[in-house]
Amino acid sequence: MREVNRKKIMEVIYAFEIGGSERLAAAIAEKVSQLGENVSVCAINGETGPIREQLEKSNISCYGIGGGKVSALAVRYRLYRLFKQVKPDVLHMHHITQLINCYWPAKLAGVPRLVVTEHANYSLRTVKKLNKRAKSYTKRADALTVVHGGLKEYFAKEMDVPEEMITTITNGVDTEVYTPGIPSDEFKASMGIPGNMTVLACIGRLVEAKDHLNLLNAVKFMVDHGHINFRLLIVGDGLYRQRLEVCVTEQGINDNVLFLGARSDIVDILHNTDICILSSKREGFPMVLLEAMGCGVPCISTQVGGVFQLINESNGRIVPPENSVALAEAMIDLYQDDKAIKELGVAARETILKGYEIEDVLDAYKQILVDK
């Protein structure tokens, strides 16, 4: 009888590349699949990537629409054919842009329930055409979830979405995976880092929004003021890598900055990191901060998105965005203070344990996607 009543749920994401919303969608898909439901994942742009590889190892069906290569009309037609083929009971779309892409194909294909999760509102606030369309489409969904309280307020007040339609579900991490570990001299030696060096890490895609140039300017400030006993690991890849590498050379900070590229050993990196840095201009509710804090690594972050709900003076530091001097001063304040790093790290881990366990997050999504 259970097999007959299995609910078909499809997660819709931008691409199968690594990103905060994509990783959350993958976690939801795996959870729902473990519960015995029939789950699949569709990426609007592109057909391959590490997220797809991860999901297919769990026998989760994946579909790529290849949006960047075809017209908007062709994308919608492909979505319509896919929805007719799969016949999902629930379509869970990450970001309003995916709702706009999927709404009419889903309606024409007879999909009964549409749920959208928004992770950030920068584009909604700054792109007038998107803002206008989002106001129209968001209210047509059956449910809207957001990753922090500021987004709920935005949709209720600025987008006229009824409050009863909006649920706040913050991001979370698996605290049994992202847990404190023992630093490895061998790991550091493999990157040429002496054991007495403080290790800073910035983990994320090398894109404009992450504002790595702000961070490199902060590093330059530190070096110019005689603070050189550290290494900054820039972990990730993206269109800005070459530009950032040129900047490091021009600033004369090659001895202090290491580019590691895209890595799959993030936990190992965090176990060998003293302080995690987020220098972004804009964010939603950054997964990397949750992961670092889960590992007992204190974070210095710009005040963007929902960061204010996560970090305070007792477990880390918050600085204004696009202010390299403020960022540098926060880094200088902590980077050689072993006692402060340890105390903040313990408090950071406690913050995650008390409010950001992935199981609680996934249970909340289950209530919206499976139980209703």
The CATH number of 185-355 is 3.40.50.2000
Q: Can you give the pLDDT at residue 67?
A: 72
Q: Can you give the pLDDT at residue 6?
A: 83
pLDDT in tens, 242-283: 999 999 999 999 999 999 998 889 999 999 999 999 999 999
Q: Check if the beta carbon of residue 251 is closer than 8 Å to that of residue 216.
A: yes
| Alpha helix segments (H runs only) across the chain | 20-34, 50-57, 72-86, 96-109, 122-126, 128-138, 149-157, 185-190, 212-224, 241-251, 266-271, 287-294, 307-310, 324-335, 338-355, 358-369
136 token code pair: 């129209």
Distance from the Cα of residue 109 to its chain's centroid: 31
Q: Give me the residue spans of the domains in the chain.
A: 8-172+357-369, 185-355
Separation CA 286–CA 293 (nearest Å): 11
Q: Can you give the pLDDT at residue 251?
A: 96
Taking residues 284-307, what's their average pLDDT? 95
Report the DSSP pairing between strands 198-203 and 275-278: parallel
Q: How far is CA 292 from CA 125, 149, 181, 308, 331, in A?
A: 29, 22, 11, 16, 16
The SS3 of residue 295 is: coil
Using the predicted structure, report yes or no on whether residue 2 has a pLDDT greater than 60: no
Using the predicted structure, report yes or no on whether residue 128 has a pLDDT greater than 90: yes
Q: Can you give the pLDDT at residue 68?
A: 72
pTM for the full predicted model: 0.86
283 token code pair: 């964010």
pLDDT in tens, 39-52: 999 999 989 988 99
Q: Can you give the pLDDT at residue 66?
A: 86
Q: Which residue has the higher pLDDT, 18 or 353?
A: 353
β-sheet with 90-94: strand ranges across: 61-64, 38-43, 8-13, 90-94, 113-118, 143-146, 166-168
pLDDT in tens, 130-166: 999 999 999 999 999 999 999 999 999 999 999 999 9
pLDDT in tens, 109-127: 999 999 999 999 989 999 9
Q: Check if the beta carbon of residue 17 is closer than 8 Å to that of residue 52.
A: no
**What are the two backbone dihedrals, phi and then psi, of residue 146, each rounded to the nearest 5 degrees?**
-130, 155
**What are the two backbone dihedrals, phi and then psi, of residue 299, each rounded to the nearest 5 degrees?**
-120, 145
The CATH number of 8-172+357-369 is 3.40.50.2000
pLDDT in tens, 53-100: 999 999 999 999 987 778 889 999 999 999 999 999 999 999 999 999
Binning pLDDT at 50, 70 and 90, where does residue 3 land? very low
8-172+357-369 with 185-355: one CATH topology?
Answer: yes
CB atoms inside a 10 Å sphere around CB 268: 14
pLDDT in tens, 176-217: 999 999 999 899 899 899 888 999 999 998 999 999 999 999
Taking residues 337-351, what's their average pLDDT? 97
